[in-house]
Structure 1
Amino acid sequence: MRLVAVRSGENRVGNRLIDQMHTLRARVFSERLEWNVTVKSGRETDEYDALDPTYLLAVTDDLRDVIGCARLLPGTGPTMLGRTFPILLDGNPMPSHPGLIESSRFCVDTELGMRNAARGLHKATMTLFAGILEWSLTNGYSEVATVTDLRFEKILRRAGLPFNRLGAQHPIGNTIAIAGIIPATLENAVRVRPEDCEPFFVDHAPLAA
């Protein structure tokens, strides 16, 4: 397994992986979780995919399959939390500063993900946790904001990541949603990085065209 950070239109391989990521998102968010998301031609997309995000992808070593993904957008621009789910801020303004990145659309293919027996979590999940934090540190971000649900908050806490809630939980669709911030620190990255993985080197153009 390896991590790549890609943006739409950078190269052919990256575009193929991004397309596969949208298919994975449809399977997870629409079919498995039954969220109210937009799926066309078997691919889930939303308005935030049009904002030139960075996609962090966990992929197989041969770059054939996407195992998991997360979407990263600067906190200073339009964000899912600020624009779509402000109710989760309990009337407070959306945190916005140059050191904030928003992570959204986090998901893992549970069939391809390998188990981390020590923690009972998928290795791909732990790899993505560490990758998001390391990418954030490498690119000058100190905090990661995210909208998630109570189930995933428990996963974060099991992984040992501090999750500082920004407001109370609220029912949204068929889930109970919350928003919070995770400090992007080297200590947190090391804490969740799988033991058999070296520090991840993630840049914006890691793939051959």
Structure 2
Amino acid sequence: MRVVAIKNAKTESEIRIVEEMYRLRSRIFHGRLAWDVDCTAGLEIDQYDDLNPTYILCLAGTGAVVGCARLLPAMQRNMLKEVFPQLLETGHLIAHNRMIESSRFCVDTVVSAAREQGGLHSATLALFAGIVEWSILHGYREIVTATDVRLERIFRRTGWSLTRLGPPIQINETKSVAGVLPADWSSFDLLRPSNYSSNFMTPTEELSCR
């Protein structure tokens, strides 16, 4: 599985991939999970997509987007702070500059049928590993997220355990929980599937390519 990071899509290829990601989100969140999200012309886009996030995307061999996550610095505006503060035991997020927030995580497990350790989909593990690798390379040490207890169980199965920031709460149709995950090389090695590759560079390398 190839994992790429896109921020400020510029090329025709990047713009196509990001649009395909919006379609994947609509298909998963609106269609499959029946979440109350706004979709227009088959695209699921919200206000946090306007905040210059980094997208981590898992691509199949055909180039199709089979998984995605959105990353925003925890010190800035993000979904956990503004949409899901009820999941935080203190009612607010105690953030720091080495913490990144992950949101809009999804994998199309129908398209991505390949399985790896513990019966988990290769794309799921690749996306986990990609989030960790990108975070480390950009100076982050913790990943904070609002998720559902089903995904929390998947974290636990991989050995990448979520430290809860509050008790689970039923939000509409989803039993949700907030927590922190480590971003370190031992977690990356634990999660990385056998067919993993990425295009990630450090911030210095990114600047030199501009």
Normalization by structure 2: what TM-score? 0.92
Q: Per-residue displacement from partner, 1:94-148 (whole Å, max 9, x unpaired)? A: 1211100011101111122133243111100000001100100000000000110
How far is 1:201 from its partner? 4.1
Residue 17 of structure 1 corresponds to 17
Matched residue type, 2:44: E
Residue 114 of structure 2 corresponds to 115
Residue 176 of structure 1 corresponds to 175
In 2: Cα distance, 1:22 partner to 1:8 partner: 15
Preserved contact between residue 7 and residue 14 of structure 1 (Cα < 8 Å)? no
Runs of 4+ in 1 over 6 A off after TM superposition: none
Preserved contact between residue 17 and residue 66 of structure 1 (Cα < 8 Å)? yes
Residue 131 of structure 2 corresponds to 132
In 2: Cα distance, 1:15 partner to 1:91 partner: 39
In 2: Cα distance, 1:43 partner to 1:94 partner: 29
In 2: Cα distance, 1:184 partner to 1:91 partner: 23
In 2: Cα distance, 1:84 partner to 1:164 partner: 20
Preserved contact between residue 58 and residue 127 of structure 2 (Cα < 8 Å)? yes
How far is 1:6 from its partner? 0.5
Q: Per-residue displacement from partner, 1:144-182 (whole Å, max 9, x unpaired)? A: 001101111111111110200000111111011100000
Residue 42 of structure 1 corresponds to 42
Residue 79 of structure 1 corresponds to 78
Preserved contact between residue 73 and residue 79 of structure 1 (Cα < 8 Å)? yes
In 1: Cα distance, 2:150 partner to 2:23 partner: 23
Query: What is the Cα-based RMSD across aligned positions, in Å?
Result: 1.5
Q: How does 1:1-209 map to 2 (within 5 A)?
A: 1-63=1-63, 65-197=64-196, 200-203=198-201
Preserved contact between residue 116 and residue 193 of structure 2 (Cα < 8 Å)? no
Counterpart of 2:160 in 1: which secondary structure? coil
In 1: Cα distance, 2:85 partner to 2:117 partner: 37
Counterpart of 1:119 in 2: which secondary structure? helix
Counterpart of 2:194 in 1: which secondary structure? coil
Preserved contact between residue 102 and residue 146 of structure 1 (Cα < 8 Å)? yes
* % same residue: 42
Count residues with an aligned counterpart. 203
Q: Per-residue displacement from partner, 1:57-79 (whole Å, max 9, x unpaired)? A: 1113453x101000000011001
In 2: Cα distance, 1:126 partner to 1:117 partner: 8
In 2: Cα distance, 1:150 partner to 1:20 partner: 27
How far is 1:87 from its partner? 0.3
In 2: Cα distance, 1:31 partner to 1:155 partner: 22
Gaps of 5+ in 2: none
